[in-house]
Amino acid sequence: MMASKPHKQLPTKYCDLENIRIAYNEFGEGPTLLLLHPNSVNKDYWYRHRTTWLSDYRTIAVDTRWHGESIPKDHVLNYEIIGKDIVAFCKKMNLKGCAVMFWAIVMVASLASICPPLNLDTSEV
């Protein structure tokens, strides 16, 4: 079995929020697709899938709180605060109406705790 080739690292960008600096990668053009990784991994989780969306979407993969390069200034970690981080990131980045893709019940709980019923219209949060 052949070892997989290492991927070329995408440049990391940062979005400074009140209590955290969110690390993210951005690639492609078109309507925005926000990618939220599962627990215990980071934004690089989505790298191998990037060609799937590259020609159709502006894709933003973020490191959530205490994952990858996103280290908060406080020591809080719970579903509600993760959801608030994501909404604050969307507001700061002006991501109104973006599509969100995630693979984890943690993200469902995080976003549902502050945006019932998963209403991600950040203009009202």
pLDDT in tens, 90-120: 999 998 888 888 776 656 655 655 554 444 5
d(CA 67, CA 8): 20
Tokens coding 47: 């790298």
How many Cα neighbours within 13 Å face the side chain of 102? 22
What pTM was computed for the model? 0.76
Per-residue model confidence as pLDDT tens digits over 14-41: 999 988 999 999 988 899 998 888 778 8
Residue scoring higher pLDDT (6 or 14): 14
Q: Which of 53, 11, 55 is nearest to 34 (CA)?
A: 53
Structural domains of the chain ordered from first start = 13-124 (3.40.50.1820)
Peptide bond between residue 117 and the one before it cis (omega within 30 degrees of 0) = yes
Per the structure block, which two tokens stand in for 81?
A: 């605060």
Q: What is the pLDDT at residue 83?
A: 84
